[in-house]
């Protein structure tokens, strides 16, 4: 299909508006069906391109028929394919999880779909301003989603998310403006071709653009000390939205970093050691994230800080910039998205059944919810990086990549990070297995999780084990992505 790139973005967007029309049909659960089928259609379209993209082809599409430097162009290459594939997969999982919760109405599904199509747009576009626009579409949809339950704390968290991200986008816009002034174009490939000559003439302006973008994407992906919106937004959002934030929205910041930094600054700045800066920030992020997670008493906040911790590992992999480092970084992006999505599902199941938010109140819940506790244990082993689960393979790649570079200091901090991760997850696990008889909150009406919530969680658990045993399944998709970054 020649129009595939634009259709992949537009189909979920169309479905977002169609969900509102289900009001006029007598279809039972029409909203959910429309939402799910929109994502599935997009996914099928993407998969139909799979074989040619894995063979190394790039599929281009010019919007309105205008050729590349003038019009907006979309492209699916290995990197975009990998990201859009897991975005759609996890998006489908999140929608499936939401099925069970009746209070999620049309507005929720339509916002979720808009957010998904925003992410797909970011991943597929080759026009830097268009990327900014899709970032804003994603941001607006997710602000509303975070404050979906209209609780005062959620609205406050959403406001903080709004201000922090918008501050980042202002910087990003500034960087785009400077680039446009220098090159006269917004097409990424055309800009990239001109950057080396600009760098020769005036390195300072490239430093400025790099710094602006690093801070902007740093806010989005949760790099220390720009991570501050994450804990509150994650803990106050409804469960599937927390999964969306941690699983996909943080990863979009990483995608932008990978795409733009390697395309623009690959031959200039990154060669000169800007990668070291990212490694350094990654190490700080992972240690601080782990330390703060160690002393959290709110389950969802702990998971949020754990996300920051894991983002640190990914940044180390990206910053190394070697074949193996990028492979590990991309693999860990995928693994973390998968695991953290399901961990938030588990947290959601536990919270909606017990009414407690704090870990110290969750003593002995394993007798009440053996399934959710089991899933939580497996997933936390996976995120710590214990074999034979998927987190082990990606962390092994990152560690091996660092070891080849002989960065022993970084190795030390990576291992410290892993131990701290183990410490805070086992702190939670041992609370779950406490001998005290579990009592739910006195005045709380439990909402027992249905089959949709449980099934989507267990599916991820099984998939974690599968990927851990047969990493080739995912590596097949990662290798073309690495090839795009390191041609």
CB of 353 to other proteins, least distance (A): 20
204 class by beta-carbon count within 10 Å (0-12 exposed, 13-18 middle, 19+ buried): exposed
The sign one gets for the Cα dihedral 227, 231, 233, 234 is: positive
CB of 435 to other proteins, least distance (A): 4
CB of 355 to other proteins, least distance (A): 23
CB-wise, 219 or 481, nearer to other proteins?
219
CB-wise, 437 or 443, nearer to other proteins?
437
Question: Which candidate, 120, 175, 144, places its Cα nearest to that of 5?
Answer: 120
CB of 250 to other proteins, least distance (A): 16
CB-wise, 436 or 443, nearer to other proteins?
436
CB-wise, 1 or 423, nearer to other proteins?
423
CB of 79 to other proteins, least distance (A): 21
CB of 359 to other proteins, least distance (A): 13
DSSP-assigned beta bridge partners for residue 60: 75
CB-wise, 41 or 205, nearer to other proteins?
205
CB-wise, 11 or 428, nearer to other proteins?
428
CB of 160 to other proteins, least distance (A): 5
Residue 48 Cα distances to 8, 42, 45, 56, 164, angstroms:
11, 10, 5, 15, 38
CB of 33 to other proteins, least distance (A): 38
Q: What angle do CA 326, 467, 367 make, to 5 degrees?
A: 125
Cβ atoms 365, 359 nearer than 8 A: no
What lies within 8 Å, CB to CB, of 446 at 6+ separation is: 352, 353, 354, 355, 440
Cβ atoms 458, 371 nearer than 8 A: yes
Residue 356 tokens, joined: 């407690």
CB of 91 to other proteins, least distance (A): 29
CB-wise, 100 or 289, nearer to other proteins?
289
Cβ atoms within 10 Å of 170's Cβ, excluding its own: 12
CB-wise, 128 or 382, nearer to other proteins?
382
Question: Which candidate, 419, 374, 247, 391, places its Cα nearest to that of 317?
Answer: 391
How far is residue 384's CA from residue 308's CA, in Å, rounded to a whole number?
A: 13
Coil vs helix vs strand at 187: strand
CB of 398 to other proteins, least distance (A): 11
CB of 225 to other proteins, least distance (A): 5
Residue 44 Cα distances to 4, 106, 239, 248, 483, angstroms:
11, 24, 27, 20, 24
Cα pseudo-dihedral 123, 127, 129, 131, rounded to 10: 0
CB-wise, 1 or 409, nearer to other proteins?
409
* Helix spans in 295-389 (H): 299-320, 323-354, 370-384
How far is residue 160's CA from residue 148's CA, in Å, rounded to a whole number?
A: 15
How far is residue 441's CA from residue 419's CA, in Å, rounded to a whole number?
A: 33
Is the bond leading into 146 cis (omega within 30 degrees of zero)?
no
Coil vs helix vs strand at 247: helix
CB-wise, 355 or 388, nearer to other proteins?
388
CB-wise, 295 or 486, nearer to other proteins?
295
Residues at the interface with other proteins (CB under 8 A): 159-160, 163-164, 167-168, 171, 203-204, 207-208, 210-212, 214-215, 218-219, 225-226, 228-229, 232, 269, 272-274, 276-277, 279-280, 288, 291-292, 294-296, 381, 386-388, 392-393, 396, 399-400, 403-404, 407, 409-411, 415, 418-419, 422-423, 426-427, 430, 433-435, 471-472, 475
Question: Which candidate, 213, 218, 231, places its Cα nearest to that of 160?
Answer: 231
CB of 40 to other proteins, least distance (A): 32
> Which residue matches tokens 């990197």?
79
CB-wise, 80 or 235, nearer to other proteins?
235
Cβ atoms 467, 393 nearer than 8 A: yes
């Amino acid at each position: 299909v020649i129009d595939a790139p634009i259709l992949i973005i537009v189909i979920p967007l169309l479905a977002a508006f169609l969900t509102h029309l289900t009001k006029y049909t007598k279809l039972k659960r029409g909203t959910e069906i429309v939402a799910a089928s929109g994502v599935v259609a997009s996914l099928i379209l993407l998969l139909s391109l799979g074989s040619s993209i894995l063979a190394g082809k790039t599929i281009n599409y010019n919007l309105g028929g205008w050729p590349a430097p003038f019009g907006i162009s979309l492209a699916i290459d290995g990197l975009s394919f990998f990201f859009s594939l897991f975005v759609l997969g996890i998006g489908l999982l999140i929608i499936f999880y939401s099925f069970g919760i009746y209070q999620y109405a049309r507005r929720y599904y339509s916002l979720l779909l808009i957010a998904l199509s925003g992410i797909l747009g970011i991943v597929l576009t080759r026009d830097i301003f268009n990327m900014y626009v899709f970032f804003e579409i994603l941001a607006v949809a997710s602000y509303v989603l975070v404050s979906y339950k209209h609780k005062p704390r959620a609205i406050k968290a959403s406001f903080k998310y709004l201000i922090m991200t918008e501050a980042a986008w202002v910087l990003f816009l500034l960087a785009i403006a400077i680039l446009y002034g220098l090159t006269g174009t917004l097409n990424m490939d055309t800009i990239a071709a001109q950057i080396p000559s600009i760098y020769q003439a005036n390195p300072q302006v490239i430093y400025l653009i790099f710094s602006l973008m690093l801070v902007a994407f740093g806010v989005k992906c949760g790099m220390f000390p720009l991570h501050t919106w994450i804990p509150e937004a994650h803990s106050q959002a409804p469960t599937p939205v927390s999964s969306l934030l941690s699983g996909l929205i943080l990863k979009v910041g990483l995608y932008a970093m990978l795409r733009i930094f390697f395309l623009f600054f690959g031959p200039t700045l990154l060669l000169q050691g800007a990668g070291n800066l990212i490694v350094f920030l990654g190490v700080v992020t992972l240690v601080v994230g782990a330390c703060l997670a160690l002393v959290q008493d709110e389950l969802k906040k702990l998971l949020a800080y754990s996300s920051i911790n894991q983002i640190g590992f990914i940044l180390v992999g990206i910053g190394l910039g070697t074949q193996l480092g990028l492979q590990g970084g991309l693999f860990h992006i995928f693994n973390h998205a998968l695991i953290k999505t399901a961990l938030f599902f588990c947290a959601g199941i536990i919270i909606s059944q017990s009414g407690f938010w704090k870990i110290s109140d969750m003593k002995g819940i394993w007798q009440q919810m053996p399934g959710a506790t089991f899933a939580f244990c497996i997933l936390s082993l996976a995120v710590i990086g214990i074999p034979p689960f998927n987190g082990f393979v990606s962390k092994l790649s990152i560690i091996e990549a660092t070891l080849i570079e002989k960065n022993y200091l970084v190795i030390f901090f990576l291992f410290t990070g892993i131990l701290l991760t183990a410490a805070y997850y086992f702190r939670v696990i041992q609370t779950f297995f406490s001998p005290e008889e579990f009592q739910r909150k006195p005045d709380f009406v439990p909402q027992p999780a249905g089959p949709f919530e449980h099934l989507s969680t267990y599916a991820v658990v099984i998939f974690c084990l599968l990927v851990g045993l047969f990493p080739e399944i995912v590596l097949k998709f990662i290798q073309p992505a690495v090839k795009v970054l390191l041609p």
